[in-house]
Structure 1
Amino acid sequence: CGSSHSAAITSNGELYTWGLGEYGRLGHGDFVTQFKPKMVKALAGHHIVKVACGSRDAQTLALSSEGLVFSWGDGDFGKLGRGGSEGCDLPHNIERLNGLGVCHIECGAQFSLALTKSGQVWTWGKGDYFRLGIGADHHVRKPTLVEGLKSEKVIDVAVGALHCLAVTDTGT
C-alpha cells in the first residue's frame, strides 16, 4: 500500500483501490477520493496477480497473469515507464516490458522496478541517490535493465523509499 492509497486483489484477479484520488492514482478515470474499495474497471478482462503502490507518492503498478505490467497515477520523472512524465488516471500497459516474463513489481518514492522470471531487474523513474542501480543518478523514463546484475539470477527484490534490494539464487 502507498501512504495515501491502498489496493487489493480478489481471488478471481479483480483489482480494487481506495484512498486519496489525487493524480488519478486509483485508476478509476478520475481524481475522486474513494473511502471504500472500488473495482478498477479498466483492468476488467485481465487477471491481476500483483499490485504495487508508490511510497509517499502517487503511482500504482499492476501485473497480470499474462505478464503485462500496467501503470497509472502521477508520472513525474518517468516513473510510469512509458517514456514521458505525463500522468494518467487509467491503467496503461508499459509496452517495453511486454514479453519479458515479469513476475514481480515494486514502487518506491518516484521510481518503479520489475523482476523477470529469468532473473533480470528493470528500473525506471527518479534516479537521484543512484536508487535505480544503473550506475548514474539521472532520471529514466522507460524501464532499463540493471546491467550490474546482468550476470546474476535475481530471485527476489524489495524497495524502500530511496533504494532497491536484490537477492540472487546464490543468496548474495
Structure 2
Amino acid sequence: MNWFGFGFNGFGQIRPADATCKVNTPVLISDVCRSCVIRSDCRVRASWSSRAHVHRTDCGSHVCVSGFGFGSGSSEQMCGDTFPESRGCTDALISERHLTLNFTDRVECWEIQQPQNKLVWKREQDLSANTGQTAPLPLVPGGYVMPRSPFFRALCSELCAVSLALGTEHAVLLTSVGTVYSWGSGSHGQLGHGALTAQDEPQVVEALWGVPIQTVSAGSWHSASVSTGGDLYMWGWNESGQLGLPSRGLEEEKHRAKSGGNTEQTINKDEKNQADMFISIQAFPALVDVPNVSEISRVSCGSRHTAAVTGTGDLYTWGWGHYGQLGHCSESSTDEPTLVDYFPTHSMCVQDVVCGLWNTFVSAVPKHPPS
C-alpha cells in the first residue's frame, strides 16, 4: 500500500518544501522510511502545517513527522523525521503544537519543540477490561483527547463510542449501533440538529435516527457520514461547495471570471429568482448524490473540501481547491463530486483517504497486483 498527497505544501508536508507550495496532482509520499520495512497497515494523520505517518514494521512501530520544523528538505526525507518518543505507539494525532501518541498501556501528549520535545500530559491506560480491540484516536478509555489543555475529556460509557471526529469547534461521534451524536459549536449548521446554536453535551442527530452509519468525519465547519448501505450524508457550511450541494459563492466566482471581475454582472435576474437553489448552510443531514456511484465506503472532510472513496476503489473530491487539494490538476473549486483521474489512469484502487485542512492524503494499491 502506497500513500499519496496533494494540496497545500507550504511546509513540505507532502514533498520537499523547496519544490512548490501547491501540489495539484497526487504524488507518492510513501516510498518512505528507508531504515525499515514498512507493513501495509500504516496510516497518515494531518494538521495544517504537518503530517504524521504512523509506521508499523516487523520490528515495532513509530511515527515520522513532516512539515513545519521537521524533515522534508530532500527527496531522501519524503517521510520526514522519526519522532523518537513514539517507539511502540499504536496510533497518533498531530496538531500545530502537539503530537498525541497512543500506546497499549498509556496515552501521551508531547509539545513539539525542535530539537527537544516536551511531554506535557500522560495518562495510564486501564488494561483490566481490554478486549483486544482499541478505538482509533481521539477516543481513549473513558473519553477522548483534545490537542489542547485540558487534554482529556470524559464521555459517558453508555454511548459505546467506536469512532470520534473532531472539527475546529465541534465533534461528531459514532456508536457501536451506528447512531450519530454531535456537540460543540453549531454556528454553521455543522451539528446537524437543524439549528445554528451550540450544544455542550452529545446530542443524537435525529435526522439520521434509524439509519445505521458506518463512518463519520468532521471538517472545520461541516460534517459527513456514510451509512452501512453506502449512502453519503453531509451537513454544515457550503460556502465552497464542500457539501456537494449548489454553492452561490462558487457560482458568483464563475460569473466574476466571465465578466472580468465586474461584480454588478455576476448573477442575472433569472438566477436571482432561483436563489433558493443555492445552499450556504445545510443544518440537517442531506443525502448527497455522487454521479455514477452506487456506494461510498469512506469519507474525509478538510477545512472546506471533502473526499470520498467509492465501493469500487475510486476517489471523488469537491469543495475548495485553491491549493490543489482536490487532485484535479488545477486550483479550481467545485460543488460537484468529481473523479480524481490519477488513480484509475494508473490502474490503482483507493483504499483510504485522510484530509488535512488544505490538503489530501490517499492510500492506494494496484488494481491487478503481480502474481
TM-score interval, smaller chain: over 0.9
2:182 to 17, 30, 45: 17
Write the distance in 1 (CA, Å) between the matches of 2:226 and 2:333: 23
SS in 2 for 1:29: coil
1:78 to 236, 241, 260: 241
Answer yes or no: is the 8 Å Cα contact 1:80–1:87 preserved in 2. Answer: no
Write the distance in 2 (CA, Å) between the matches of 1:78 and 1:99: 19
Write the distance in 2 (CA, Å) between the matches of 1:133 and 1:98: 19
Determine which structure has greater relative contact order: mean sequence separation of CA pairs < 8 Å that are 6+ residues apart, divided by chain length: 1
Distance 1:20 1:97, change over 3 A: farther
Q: What pairs up with 1:114-133 in 2 under 5 angstroms?
A: 114-133=308-327
Answer yes or no: is the 8 Å Cα contact 1:67–1:98 preserved in 2. Answer: no
RMSD: 1.3
1:136 to 330, 335, 343: 330
Answer yes or no: is the 8 Å Cα contact 2:189–2:195 preserved in 1. Answer: yes
Q: CA deviation at 1:84?
A: 2.3
Q: Which moved more, 1:64-73 or 1:89-98?
A: 89-98
- Amino acid aligned to 1:119: G
What are the Cα deviations for residues 111-164 of structure 1, in whole angstroms up to 9, with x where unaligned? 000001211000000010111001110111011000111231111221211111
Distance 1:19 1:130, change over 3 A: same
User: Which position in structure 2 is the counterpart of 1:2?
Assistant: 167
- Amino acid aligned to 2:216: V
Aligned length: 168
Percent same amino acid among aligned pairs?
A: 32
1:157 to 346, 349, 353: 353
Answer yes or no: is the 8 Å Cα contact 2:315–2:339 preserved in 1. Answer: yes
SS in 2 for 1:76: coil
1:145 to 331, 335, 339: 339
User: Which position in structure 2 is the counterpart of 1:92?
Assistant: 286
Write the distance in 2 (CA, Å) between the matches of 1:121 and 1:60: 18
Q: CA deviation at 1:97?
A: 5.6
SS in 1 for 2:342: helix
1:40 to 168, 180, 205: 205
Question: Which protein has the larger Cα radius of gyration, Structure 1 or Structure 2?
Answer: 2
User: Which position in structure 2 is the counterpart of 1:64?
Assistant: 227
User: Which position in structure 1 is the counterpart of 2:195?
Assistant: 30
Distance 1:116 1:7, change over 3 A: same
User: Which position in structure 2 is the counterpart of 1:108?
Assistant: 302
Answer yes or no: is the 8 Å Cα contact 2:293–2:310 preserved in 1. Answer: no
Write the distance in 1 (CA, Å) between the matches of 2:206 and 2:198: 16
Gaps of 5+ in 2: 1-165, 249-279, 367-371
